[in-house]
Every structure is written in C-alpha cells, then in structure tokens.
Structure 1
C-alpha cells in the first residue's frame, strides 16, 4: 500500500477548480449530493438523473448527504503515481483500468479516457475530461451507491430488474443472452423498471428486498428494432439501416444507445426498490428449439451460479474489515433460500419469455 494520502493529493485539484454547482439526487431514501466546477456537467447529470432529482434546497445542505461526490472538469492531472494494471476478465484482451491503493483509499485511472477516480473514507472525486465521458461519471455515482448498499448487507447480482407494484423479479443471464433485452420486453407488458445490469439484495424485516441502480439501459440495435417501445431511441434513418441488416450481423453490432425509461415507456415507471419474488436465469441459445421454463434448485446447479454472482470490483471499498463482503456461492444460496429461481432454456424467444415472466409477477403479487 502506498503511504500517500488521498485527500492530500486531491486538495490542490479541488482548490484550483472550485465546485460551485450542485445537484441533489434521491436514490430510494439515500441522498446523493454531487458538486462540480462545470455548469454544463451539472445540467447533463440533471438531465440523465431526471427521475431521481431531490429538492433543490438539499443541493448545498452541509451534512445531510449520505453520499457526497465531486466531479471536476479539467485536463487529466498527472499525480506522479505508479499504477497497477487491472487484468482483464476472462475472454477479454484489453486492459481498461489501472489503480493504486493509498493509505486512506484508492485511485482508479481509465486508460482510454485518462479519467481519474479517487475514493475512500467517504471521499469521492472524479477528475478529468468529464463532459466528454459523462457515462463514466454516471457509473462512478452509481458505484458509490453500490458501495453504500453492499456495506449495509447487500449482495451484488449481475442482473436486470422489473416489478409489478412492489413485487419484483431479477433477470440474469450468461454474457450476450439478453437480460436487458428481455427486461425491456417485459416492460412493454406494463411493469415498472428497477435496474438494468446490477441488482443488490438483502434480507429485511419484511422479506427479501432488491435495489436497483439509476442507470439507463445501454442497448444495441438488435434490441431496439425488435421492441416497438424503443422506437424513439434511434433516428428513422438508423432504424431503416438496422432493419436492412442480416439478423446475425444486427445482433452482433456493437453500437450502444441509452434508452431513457420515461421517453420509451412513460413517466413514473422507474423504481429503485421492490420485494424480490423471483430470479430468472437465461440459459438459452438461438436455434435451440422451443422455449423451456422450469424452476431449479440452485444447490444442485452450481453451473448456474456464475450467471448471477457479481464481485464488487475496483470501485468498492469496504467500510472496515468486518464488512468485507463474502460473495461466495454459499452466501448467495443462503440469501435466496425460499426464493423461486427459474431457468429459461431451449431457444431464444423474448416475447414468450416476457409473457411468462409477467404472469409469474402477477401471480407472485396476488399472493402477497
């Protein structure tokens, strides 16, 4: 561990770039306050998080925020540190991030954008070309919320989430199997949206609860053109281009778009908490025949555990050694005890799967 201190390194940056603009966000009774030196960045973030804006008078109220974050728009600073590359995940070749652990926190550097993220002990700072990399600032804000929830007993799931009223369903799947695509197909059937790619869950006094992130789905063209509710995400010309493509080429096209829930499905359709009534696991494939859905016992299916388990990664700091999360198969099995788990196998069929899951949610809601 480096003996340098996070706040000492950050102080000259913050003194040189006073963060005079503030934004208050309400993430399900967790107050997040963002300060920035850029009015343009403040407006961009306000537009992105428009479903979660808190009262303006909370923007600058000292001591009231549960999570405080500063984002400085500037050239990327050289702090004179030697970073350790984060090795890519299995199947990926590029090193995207590097980091250094300090006496009181961690710094993560994004190699492609030169964005720096400093965090530890409740101090959170993003610095660099923030306006050109708004999505990384959004991710940093959401990562602070993940840390907050994990440090209060949640396990992290690699899953999307939808709900009918207070009754929620998490949807997980192996890479490329379409958990976000399926969640948005279920949304067409009148559900609310809870989360796109990460879900946190824990046992509470009234049962198993899941929490989502204020992160809009980032979807590919194949998802867009096969869901009428997503028509406004791309221009008519882009839609025509995508529809003219071969099906395999379309689904493999790596071009991402933000799908704002209010624009695609109407206002008031985003909630960040629901009762976790079930977990759906996608284990299907194209050309795999008819869709098959069955309830499974996860204790007998360790092959399915990697579908939903998710480690916290570089952007997490435990709130003391006692709270270092034990993200093991046993901890997930214990948490999910009594929660129905559905395996969707056979062939890919988003419409049939969406109808089945909507019926499952209705039946679960009726039992409460």
Structure 2
C-alpha cells in the first residue's frame, strides 16, 4: 500500500541528514532551492547549472530534495505503466496515485534506473542512485519549472528553439526527426540557443515579456543531449567524443547510426560562444520537419500556417507527462492527449515553414535561412 511506502520514506528522511550546502536556482519568473544528502550530486548540479545559480537567501518558490539511497527500489506495489509517445517502445515510467486526505500525490518509478520520484505540491522529492543518474534529477528540477508555467497557461511544445538573424525559431518534428541536429547547424550563423527539446509558448495575455500581438517562447535551461549521429557529422561537436569512437561510429550503416541511443551533453556556451544560451525570446516562426530519410525528392520548404496545415499539429504538441498536476492539484490521467484547440488559438496564424523531401541538413539550413531573410 502507498501509505506503507510513505511511512518508510518518512522514517528514512528522519534518520538521513541533508548536506548543509543548499543550491538556489534563479530562472525567469521562478526560483528553486535544491537539497540533498549527497555532496557529489550537489557539486554535479552546481557545475551543470553554472550561471543560473543564485546567492540569494530569499525564500524560494519551491524546494526539491534528492536523496542518494538504494532503498525504495522495489516495494512490490501495483505500478501502472505510463503510456509512451508514438514510436517509443519499452517500459520507461510507472506510477502510483494516492491521496493522504489533504492533497493528491503521485509516485513515479523509473523502470530502467530504479529512481523513485514523489511528486507533491509542497516538496517534490527524489530517491535512488542519484549520483549515477544526475540527469534524471536535472529533468526532475526542470519538470517543476514546466509545471509552474503550464499552471499559468503557457503551452508546452515538443520543439528546439534558437535565435537566427534576430528572429526566434521553434523547430519541431517527430521524435528522432532531426530537430536538435538542424538547430545546432543553424546555430552556426545564429545568435542564441533557447532550448533543445521543449519550448514554452505564450502571448501578451500570459506574460509581460511579450508585447501586444507578439508571441513569446521560453526555453528549458538544459544542455542539448545529442546522439552520436549528430556529433560525427558536425565538426563543431567532434570534441564531445574520442576520435577512435567517432571512427567506429562512421563505419555503422546510416540508419543504425541514426537510431543509436548514446546521449552526450553539448555545452553551447563552450562549444559556440559565451552567452550563447538565452532563456527566452520573441517567437517569429515555426519550422516543422516532415521529411523522410531516403526519399527520392529533394528537400524543399513550403510556407504555411498551422491553421492551413493542421496535419502538422502533432509535431508541436507535447504532453506534460506523469509529473504534471494542474492548479487544482489534479494529476494528468494516463493516455490523455493534449487538446489541440489552445495550440491553434495561439500559434495557428504564425508563419510555419514545412520541410519535406529527403533529410538533407545542408539544404535545410539554406532554405530556413532564406525564409528568415524574407520574413
């Protein structure tokens, strides 16, 4: 029963002292405190978030606690698998809902790593091998940031974002469609990296950052996590893997290389230029990847809108996932797809550049840069 798990966790917390160090993270419109019993984890997070860390002793909007432990990994409870996105296979997240009489709460179990997350409004908490999987703690932190924005009526998009020639571009496509790869190629002539895989969208009725009749995008402060197929064909990124490993990867068939799951963090401030990362930007256009590897057709760009091409909506829509609870603290049910109406209402008339034909990043860069100059 969940209450037995809660009791065990409470006993563990009472007997497990936290480190005296406490990190403070300052993000647009939101502050966060991070606590842990692991000095190693806190040091890793300190290095990762860098300039976003704050010395302020003011009360944070939210506090997250992460415990390094080998307990709570198998409680014999009845976990329900969270439905994965189209095209994704295998078990990833399992969850268990309960109510303590004061608020709804949810446990999320990461099947592959053994991490356990206790999602609750007052203090989200993580347990497990955090030192071995710090990226899952980073994701947990940023999930709270996403949740807060969604409760303020921002929209979540499955997209990368950058500034190119002073214009904010959101790049979307099916998972594995190349949005991160294209974003990094465009960044060669761009000014700022905004986000790699998730973007938040708003207008002037939601955020004061946007002027009347202006759309706005706000990124997730997470370094791009990219696959080897992106690295080996981009000289800017070669330093992320040893030369010997790159030579091995280049021997793989193209499709096998494209499907290889072997993530690397790309620190854009180090790889491109200082202050490359920017938290937010006006949004000028969507780029939708609707191309097909191996197509006999040349890569082409069609200028449209989501209102005129609603078949492109699935590329941009993103579910908040199992960690999200709304303003009334109601958790997102399993297998519920986001409503398309708010996306069309906000983004429907925004210029949308659809890329079709073969997957050709050099051609795509040229076509997108030409479209940006015409806008």
TM-score (norm. length: structure 1): 0.89
TM-score (norm. length: structure 2): 0.87
2:90 to 89, 94, 112: 94
Q: 1:18 maps to what in 2? A: 17
Structure 1 residues 245 and 3, CA gap change in structure 2 (3 angstroms): closer
Higher RCO (C-alpha under 8 Å, 6+ residues apart): 1
Q: RMSD value over aligned CA atoms?
A: 2.6
Mapped to 1, the partners of 2:372 and 2:63 lie a distance apart of 36
Secondary structure of the structure 2 residue equivalent to 1:106? strand
Mapped to 1, the partners of 2:4 and 2:221 lie a distance apart of 31
Structure 1 residues 93 and 244, CA gap change in structure 2 (3 angstroms): closer
Larger mean CA deviation between 70-79 and 33-42 belongs to 70-79
Secondary structure of the structure 2 residue equivalent to 1:49? helix
Secondary structure of the structure 1 residue equivalent to 2:175? coil
Q: How many Å apart are 1:357 and its aligned residue?
A: 2.8
Secondary structure of the structure 2 residue equivalent to 1:357? helix
Mapped to 2, the partners of 1:301 and 1:332 lie a distance apart of 13
Q: 1:208 maps to what in 2? A: 215
Larger mean CA deviation between 36-45 and 22-31 belongs to 22-31
Report if the CA contact (8 A) 1:159-1:172 is conserved: yes
Q: How many Å apart are 1:290 and its aligned residue?
A: 1.8
Q: How many Å apart are 1:137 and its aligned residue?
A: 0.8
Mapped to 2, the partners of 1:208 and 1:6 lie a distance apart of 45
- The superposition leaves residues 307-335 of structure 1 with CA deviations (integer Å, 9 ceiling, x where unpaired) of 11111110111121799899322110001
Mapped to 2, the partners of 1:94 and 1:244 lie a distance apart of 27
1:302 to 298, 306, 310: 310
- The superposition leaves residues 165-203 of structure 1 with CA deviations (integer Å, 9 ceiling, x where unpaired) of 863110001222100000000111133111111111011
Mapped to 2, the partners of 1:363 and 1:122 lie a distance apart of 49
Structure 1 residues 172 and 101, CA gap change in structure 2 (3 angstroms): same
Q: Aligned pair 1:45/2:53, yes or no?
A: no
Secondary structure of the structure 2 residue equivalent to 1:299? coil
Structure 1 residues 5 and 309, CA gap change in structure 2 (3 angstroms): farther
Q: How many Å apart are 1:100 and its aligned residue?
A: 1.3
Structure 1, gaps ≥5 residues long = none
Mapped to 1, the partners of 2:94 and 2:51 lie a distance apart of 33
- The superposition leaves residues 131-155 of structure 1 with CA deviations (integer Å, 9 ceiling, x where unpaired) of 1111111111111111011111111
Report if the CA contact (8 A) 2:223-2:265 is conserved: yes
Mapped to 2, the partners of 1:294 and 1:90 lie a distance apart of 25
Larger mean CA deviation between 195-204 and 292-301 belongs to 292-301
- The superposition leaves residues 98-124 of structure 1 with CA deviations (integer Å, 9 ceiling, x where unpaired) of 111121221101122221111222321
Q: Aligned pair 1:290/2:301, yes or no?
A: no
Q: How many Å apart are 1:252 and its aligned residue?
A: 2.9
1:356 to 355, 359, 367: 367
Q: How many Å apart are 1:29 and its aligned residue?
A: 4.0
After TM superposition, what 4+ stretches of structure 1 lie above 6 angstroms from structure 2? 5-9, 321-326
Mapped to 1, the partners of 2:109 and 2:141 lie a distance apart of 16
Q: How many Å apart are 1:337 and its aligned residue?
A: 3.7
What are the residue-to-residue correspondences of 1:145-164 with 2, within 5 Å?
145-164=145-164
Report if the CA contact (8 A) 2:307-2:349 is conserved: no
Q: Aligned pair 1:338/2:349, yes or no?
A: yes
Larger mean CA deviation between 334-343 and 275-284 belongs to 334-343
Q: How many residues align?
A: 358
Q: How many Å apart are 1:215 and its aligned residue?
A: 1.5
Report if the CA contact (8 A) 1:166-1:275 is conserved: no
Mapped to 1, the partners of 2:264 and 2:120 lie a distance apart of 32
Report if the CA contact (8 A) 1:69-1:123 is conserved: yes
Q: 1:264 maps to what in 2? A: 271
- The superposition leaves residues 198-245 of structure 1 with CA deviations (integer Å, 9 ceiling, x where unpaired) of 111011251211111112212111111111111211112112222333
Q: How many Å apart are 1:91 and its aligned residue?
A: 3.9
